[in-house]
Structure 1
Amino acid sequence: MNRRRPPTVIRAHWVLLVVSMLTLGVALAVHGFTTGNLGEGDNGPSTSSASLTTAVVGGGPVVNSSDLASPGLSPASRTIALTFDDGPSEYTTGVLDVLRRFHARATFFVVGKQVAEHTDIVRRMVADGNEVGVHSFTHPELGSVSAWREGLELDQTQQAIAGATGYTTNLLRLPYSSKVANLTPTELLALRRAGNYWAVFTDLDTKDWTRPGVPAIVAASVPQTGAGAIVMMHDGGGDRSQTVEALTVLIPKLQSRGYRFVTVSESVGLASPFRSAGVPSRLRGSVVIAAVRFGDLVAWLLSATMILVAALSVLRLLCLVLLARRHAHSRIDETADHLPTISVIVPAFNEEVGIAAAVKSVAASDYPRFEIVVVDDGSTDGTVAAVKSAEVPGLRLIRQENGGKPVALNTGIASSSGDVLVLMDGDTVFEPDTLRRLVQQLATPTVGAVSGNTKVGNRHGLLGRWQHIEYVIGFNLDRRMFDVLQCMPTIPGAIGAFRREVLEQVGGLSSDTLAEDTDLTMAICRAGWRVVYEPQAVAWTEAPAGLGQLWRQRYRWCFGTMQAMWKHRRAVFERGAAGKLGRRGLPYLLLFQVLLPLLAPFVDVAAIYSILFQNSGAIALTWASFLLLQFLAALYAFRLDRESPRVLWAIVTQQFVYRQLMYLVVIQSLTTATAGIRFGWHKLRRTGNLDAAPAPSTP
């Protein structure tokens, strides 16, 4: 009997999924902003009619951004204000060590994102008596971004500094700026919008970021005899080892000439730029730092996940193709004398539209000795009338109250007489040689059961093509691999052949899971029998024609498979055929049918992030390469299955709807299994449309 699931339980995991995706989205948006890829662009005017006064142009390099009519301030004679941009980074520690060794101080114009990642270094800057100034949060050209973006850049950097040190600062250096005389119109615009800052330019630009060599950096840092200077260097943004080494030469050289190395404010006679940050500013700064670090962590984890998923997916495809090739070249010799008696068991519950075609197709088989037993499991439609109207000679019809598919199959098995039992669904059509192909494999004494090849009979429409591709690539390639590895976990309910003694040994079919076929197959493996795959034993089945029907079918399959895996988990510790299932088949199912689909939503989010914020060309190339690999594997699978490859164009569209539906099924199944909810088997609505299948001949 079906049990109704509590709606609050089912809704909870979807809420959790949405919240998780939103959290990821926010974290990645933060990461996109902090890496300079969000909101940056030519949002401001590239030219401006504004210009600096002659007084400012002819003044010093420290300019009051709120009074651009007055000349800038210049450092006192024989004072050097070393300034470092783009940090902090791992090279900043080296810079601080050199400064401390020679009792020198400097001013660091920090990037907010770097502050969030290296708070300890920023705290050391202040503790050592150095000054800290704002250099934006992500290092864009501030004149080329919108006013709100510039405000955000400066404000977030101030908050990061406050969170790291407890102070704010009134020093600013515009990214990409150098000397006052070289100030561009867009930089002037950014300066006007900045507000109340002392903007620090430079007297001497060492261009150390070009890595010209230690002697060149030192030479560019030496002012005219006796003059003071603000010197521009870099402690972040790349390899700054030459800068660190140049300091060990420059500082003692100029100190020996009577120069002092001081901060910018001290060099021009300004008060300390630091202001104590209030508790709200410190808290906001802590939030900014935490958000940046969390965004970086999420981006790293998603990148690692994408690499892991891609590697596992490629490995899986390669294994499938290689083992499928081995399976194709290791066919058994057909033994014409192996002709055991067969009983074909057909359970039927409301199969009015397809049951007649099913039994007619079996009756048209070229096998000499078999019987057909149809078990009507309490159908409420015209199933019984359809079976009778088929007028199949020798067919036996058994009617019983509704008890479920496993009960119906066990009834048919108990009422049959064949040495080999072929179980099929009531919506399935066999080809004339299917029975003969199945039993040939049973000529091997160690083989206890045989899986046939299920093909999609209704391939019209995009959904039908998607399922057709999945059956050929996934299901049948998987079964070839499982056969070679001797760990077959599932014989599909649509077509399977079993020795009677095997079914008696495992106690028939069980109602413990929703996937009675998987449960039965695993039980046979654990009983010491080998289960094999016969690709030429073809059964045509009707795949779900709508997304709702597909969801219900795959949900039952997935949930039932999880139940069967849990039921037979002890096979991991067993020997022989059971151990092969436990240590080969079960880990494969867990990895590729449970865990990998669970990672798929995060991979999709990561892919969208990469397209929006990173090198979309590289992402497109990667995706196209993976799709090409899938296509080549599909081409080989279709060749093995003797199918036309003309439908393979649908692989591209399969990535955008069908794949997402499949991983949502896994999420719901896992949640339901974790919650301990039990379900009855849901009957799918059938249309009887098997347009791709050969029409059964009249027996």
Structure 2
Amino acid sequence: MMLAYWLAAAACLPTVVYAAAFWQYRHHWLKLSRAADQPQVPRVHALATEEAPVVSVLIAARNEAANLPLLLTDLGQQTWLQQGGRFEVIVVDDHSTDNTAAVVQAAAANSPYVLRLLRLAEQPGQPAGKKAAIVAAIAQARTRWVLCTDADCRVPAGWLAAYTQAFGNPQLQFVSGPVLLTGKGLLAGLQGLELAALVGTGAASIGAGSATMCNGANLAYQRAAFYEVGGFGGNAHVPSGDDEFLLHKMAEAYPQGIRFLKHPEATAHTAAQPTLGALLQQRVRWASKWQHYRSAASRWLAVLVLAANVCLWALVGLLLWHASVWPWVLAGWGLKLGADVAFLNPVLRFFERRKWLMLVPLLQLVYSPYVLAVGLLGLRGGYRWKGRQMAAKTTEIPRSATV
């Protein structure tokens, strides 16, 4: 009996550390000032004197003819335009097999902003892939700041205005923005909850001064800083990671120059994966980059989350072996779920999705088989994305921050 108690106590230890860590993350999330509550600065006139246009929006697109018109329309409805602001949009066609290029050309004819098309196939020495597309776009951009989003995203009317307010801070080099998943049904809700946890954790880690993660669907940085840190050099061979690898480099070079833009209008929206198969392929793609990280904070967080989840099911196994350890099982699960709810409550309030809190226990239950499935798919040696077969030489347990 004593052995069972000692094992149960040891299994609870990671959940105690996890709960303490995410209580601190909650603290740092709450300390992040909402940009919407800060004093406004004379954005247009202060920035427009330096260069015109003020910002370049970069969009890497592969077979996005169906989605691009929606995003380009959103950009044409920006309040930044109504304020007299100027910006350019550079769409890079990454070897599309549909009429993505034709869609961009047609939109450019009547666009209220400067819209340019680059064909990656016509760029000498450039391989295929999102990183290559971004590199090509940055080389052609005519502005100090570049703002990246994905072709299948939607952005609110105040998106550019929120970012350009941040650009007025001369200390900033890199700005990470919030991303919200949209969709109906249980699968979409579970995905939305997981991504909200990741976004919240990334934002809190930036606030704590130990940046771990961001999302390439919504981030901005100075072109000069991109070149200063060597761009994607050192990890260009990894298909994904155009966001977090760069974040880690920027945080190392400019520890005071990283910010999370906690502004509702800065939120990019993207659709949840429609099927479980598509979700697993996406997560394997995300997982392929972890072992290339140099960030100790990112590795520590991944290990902590994995250990806390493994230990929960170890407690269940101990309960089946020795029923008398049930208080330890309740304590372990209670700490884990309590920490998740405490952290996610203000994050989901920001996203206006507090109803997702009800899904926390369910996501905790399905997380272990989900992790196993992603791990096995990763061991298979690759994944398909955007119609391409990609090599994935390394794998990672998915780093959902709270499940």
Give me the TM-score of the superposition, normalised by structure 2.
0.79
Letter in 1 for 2:201: D
Secondary structure, aligned partner of 1:395 = strand
Letter in 1 for 2:175: V
**For residues 474-498 of structure 1, what are the alpha-carbon distances to aligned partners after superposition, in whole Å with 9 as ceiling and x for unaligned?**
2232133222222324331101111
**For residues 304-360 of structure 1, what are the alpha-carbon distances to aligned partners after superposition, in whole Å with 9 as ceiling and x for unaligned?**
442122112211221111111111379754323343511111111112331221222
Partner of 1:558: 287
Secondary structure, aligned partner of 2:78 = coil
**Displacement, 1:619?**
5.4
Does residue 325 in structure 1 map to residue 35 in structure 2?
A: no
**Displacement, 1:409?**
0.8
Name the CA distance, whole Å, in 1 between partners of 2:336 and 2:216: 32
Secondary structure, aligned partner of 1:424 = strand
**For residues 167-192 of structure 1, what are the alpha-carbon distances to aligned partners after superposition, in whole Å with 9 as ceiling and x for unaligned?**
xxxxxxxxxxxxxxxxxxxxxxxxxx
Name the CA distance, whole Å, in 2 between partners of 1:425 and 1:301: 50
Does residue 647 in structure 1 map to residue 356 in structure 2?
A: yes
Query: For 1:363, which of 76, 82, 87 is the aligned residue?
Result: 76
Name the CA distance, whole Å, in 2 between partners of 1:590 and 1:484: 18
**8 Å Cα contact 1:358/1:428 also seen in 2:** yes
**Displacement, 1:398?**
1.5
Partner of 2:244: 518
Does residue 535 in structure 1 map to residue 262 in structure 2?
A: yes
Partner of 1:316: 21
Does residue 345 in structure 1 map to residue 74 in structure 2?
A: no
Residue ranges of structure 1 left out of the alignment (5+ in a row): 1-34, 36-236, 238-295, 570-585, 686-699
Cα pair distance change 1:442/1:381, threshold 3 Å: same
Name the CA distance, whole Å, in 2 between partners of 1:321 and 1:386: 43
Query: For 2:162, which of 412, 437, 462 is the aligned residue?
Result: 437
Secondary structure, aligned partner of 2:177 = strand
Partner of 1:635: 345
Partner of 2:327: 618
Partner of 1:306: 11
**Displacement, 1:512?**
3.4
Secondary structure, aligned partner of 1:523 = helix
Name the CA distance, whole Å, in 2 between partners of 1:301 and 1:599: 17
Name the CA distance, whole Å, in 2 between partners of 1:496 and 1:681: 25
Secondary structure, aligned partner of 1:328 = coil
Partner of 1:381: 98
Name the CA distance, whole Å, in 2 between partners of 1:660 and 1:412: 40
Equivalent residue pairs, number: 361
**Displacement, 1:658?**
3.3
**For residues 462-519 of structure 1, what are the alpha-carbon distances to aligned partners after superposition, in whole Å with 9 as ceiling and x for unaligned?**
12111211222x2232133222222324331101111121122223334133312111
Cα pair distance change 1:599/1:480, threshold 3 Å: closer
Secondary structure, aligned partner of 2:173 = strand
Aligned residues: CA RMSD:
3.0
Name the CA distance, whole Å, in 2 between partners of 1:463 and 1:302: 35
Cα pair distance change 1:449/1:486, threshold 3 Å: same
Secondary structure, aligned partner of 1:655 = helix
**For residues 406-443 of structure 1, what are the alpha-carbon distances to aligned partners after superposition, in whole Å with 9 as ceiling and x for unaligned?**
11111111122122111111111111111121232232
Cα pair distance change 1:630/1:527, threshold 3 Å: closer
Partner of 2:224: 501
Name the CA distance, whole Å, in 2 between partners of 1:433 and 1:339: 17
Cα pair distance change 1:388/1:664, threshold 3 Å: same
Name the CA distance, whole Å, in 2 between partners of 1:413 and 1:320: 33
Cα pair distance change 1:507/1:590, threshold 3 Å: closer
Cα pair distance change 1:594/1:324, threshold 3 Å: same
Name the CA distance, whole Å, in 2 between partners of 1:471 and 1:318: 19
Name the CA distance, whole Å, in 1 between partners of 2:384 and 2:171: 33
Does residue 471 in structure 1 map to residue 195 in structure 2?
A: yes
Partner of 2:386: 683
Name the CA distance, whole Å, in 2 between partners of 1:680 and 1:408: 20
**8 Å Cα contact 1:305/1:603 also seen in 2:** no
Letter in 2 for 1:466: L
Partner of 1:480: 203
**For residues 594-641 of structure 1, what are the alpha-carbon distances to aligned partners after superposition, in whole Å with 9 as ceiling and x for unaligned?**
3541563454133233156314753564334643443233222222x1
Name the CA distance, whole Å, in 1 between partners of 2:355 and 2:107: 35
**8 Å Cα contact 2:177/2:219 also seen in 1:** yes
Tell which deviates more after alignment, 623-632 or 539-548.
Answer: 623-632
Name the CA distance, whole Å, in 1 between partners of 2:19 and 2:373: 22
Cα pair distance change 1:595/1:478, threshold 3 Å: closer
Letter in 2 for 1:373: I
Secondary structure, aligned partner of 1:516 = coil
Which structure 2 residues correspond to residues 237-256 of structure 1 after superposition, within 5 A?
A: none
**Displacement, 1:662?**
3.5
Does residue 395 in structure 1 map to residue 115 in structure 2?
A: yes
Residue ranges of structure 2 left out of the alignment (5+ in a row): 49-53, 122-126, 389-403
Cα pair distance change 1:551/1:351, threshold 3 Å: same
Secondary structure, aligned partner of 1:344 = strand
Partner of 1:658: 367
**8 Å Cα contact 2:12/2:328 also seen in 1:** no
Letter in 1 for 2:319: S
Letter in 1 for 2:61: A
Letter in 1 for 2:302: Q
Cα pair distance change 1:634/1:624, threshold 3 Å: same
Tell which deviates more after alignment, 624-633 or 352-361.
Answer: 624-633
Letter in 2 for 1:387: V
Secondary structure, aligned partner of 2:243 = helix
Name the CA distance, whole Å, in 2 between partners of 1:449 and 1:522: 11
**8 Å Cα contact 1:452/1:496 also seen in 2:** yes
